[in-house]
Amino acid sequence: MNASLSDPAFWSRFQFGFTLIYHYLFPQLTMGLAWFLVYWKWRALKTGDEKYNQAVRFWAKIFGLNFAVGVVTGIPMEFQFGTNWASFSRYAGGAIGQTLAMEGMFAFFLESAFVGALIWGEKRLGPRYHFLAAIAVALGSWLSGYFILVTNAFMQHPVGYQFDSRRALGIGSFSDYLLNPWAFIQYSHNQTAALVTGSFVVTAIGAFYALRRLHPVQAQLYLRAGTCAGLVASLLVAFPTGDQQAKMVGRHQPVTLAAMEGKFVGGANAGVAMIGQPNVAARRLDNPIEMPGALSFLAYGHFGSYVHGLDEYPTNAWPDNIEILYYSFHLMITLGTAFIVLMAYARFEDWRRRLESNTLLLWVLMLALPFPYIANTLGWMTAELGRQPWLVYGLFHTSDGYSKVVSSGDTLFTLIGFAGLYFVFGLLFLYLVGREIGIGPDHESAEREATVIA
């Protein structure tokens, strides 16, 4: 596929990638925070300890801000299916349109119907119904994620489809489509990664308060809950979910696996490159330092298994940006490993009762906040770049999917508009979240006590 700057397909891909990456900064946190709110509300019901209700009130506001910006930034992606990817929509809309509609009708409305009750309805609903509202919000956010990932899984590994008289895709078996095995694995991997993001954000705010000697009870609660969930989620992202995702890619997209690892020549006992630079022109990995047999084991379960190389496939079947795909995958793995080490050390320090007094560790935990977002972005880049040159793997090429009547100039114009608008949204979001963090979780409780005393 021609990737020159004058190619309309390049700009349509770039615009969709930009809007998708920016949008997903927000849903990953709502999905990652949702079950913290449920857990804290459950603990408040069980123990009667007001600190858990304080945590829910504080984080529900952060959740609401993320939800609102996520909704606004998600709308342009829906329109791009019609404006920039009309050929793809005509071809695959009969299949993927089903789950996109279900996401809006069922999951989004469930989440949006109860998020207001979660933020503002505690007094009116009472403790038990407020707890149920938290559950409804969490279920809605995670159900939304499932429908979206079923759509993406179909593009990665199409099942349950049929062709109509126009050779366009439709659903032949709804159960096969909705229960795509790729979707189950991708969903579990994606959702545990979202939990990593939520855990790191909760931990970072706890570390911030601990460093400033503010809200000590809440700081301790956030640090302990965040590091516990963060360690478990980080381990689950690596195994079994990441392991199963790699095996799925190896079975169904072997050329993608070869590109992810810079494996130009196939062979048994294939190693994982710890360090190396893909040299596509020379068809080799420069300066490799490999772990022998690891790739064969990770992809196929046996150290002696044969791993296909890129040289076994025609070049037009290769992913069209092997360098970015390779580095995205390896940086994601590096960050995931670092998350496990960091959270394990934080739990060790908490076991020793030294977490809140370890200033250096608190700084690291606070400054680590953006890295799960980076890792999630790299993960999605790996998935989407690895699927190329296909929009629907094995069925429909990316080069056939973009709108031929939309010029490069048209797309670049709207891309500049999105960039400017999203910059303003980002500043407003950071201001509002920063204001809530500055006010702190104890503010509302102090106001309530003052009202009772008066």
Rg (CA), the chain: 23
- The residue extents of the domains of the chain are 8-266+308-453, 267-307
- Give the pTM: 0.95
Contact 389, 225 (CB under 8 A): no
Which residue type does 48 have? G
Contact 388, 320 (CB under 8 A): yes
- Predicted local confidence at residue 452, as pLDDT: 41
- Predicted local confidence at residue 448, as pLDDT: 52
**Helices within 307-387 (DSSP H only):** 322-351, 359-367, 371-387
H/E element, 304: none
- Predicted local confidence at residue 442, as pLDDT: 79
- Predicted local confidence at residue 298, as pLDDT: 87
- Predicted local confidence at residue 444, as pLDDT: 60
42 Cβ contact partners less than 8 Å away, ≥ 6 residues apart: 131
Bridge partner residues of 390 (DSSP): 397
Contact 122, 37 (CB under 8 A): no
Contact 369, 342 (CB under 8 A): no
Which residue type does 345 have? Y
Contact 118, 37 (CB under 8 A): yes
Contact 193, 376 (CB under 8 A): yes
Contact 22, 422 (CB under 8 A): yes
- Predicted local confidence at residue 302, as pLDDT: 87
Cα–Cα separations (whole angstroms), residue 109 to 28, 96, 102, 151: 18, 19, 10, 18
Residues of the chain with pLDDT under 70: 1-3, 444-454
For 87, list phi and psi in degrees, rounded to 5: -65, -40
pLDDT in tens, 187-245: 999 999 999 999 999 999 999 999 999 999 999 999 999 999 999 999 999 999 999 99
Contact 80, 16 (CB under 8 A): yes
Among residues of the chain, what percentage have pLDDT more than 70? 97
Contact 293, 303 (CB under 8 A): yes
- The DSSP annotation for 391-449 comes to EETTTEEGGGTS-TTS-HHHHHHHHHHHHHHHHHHHHHHHHHHHHHHHH-TTHHHHHHH
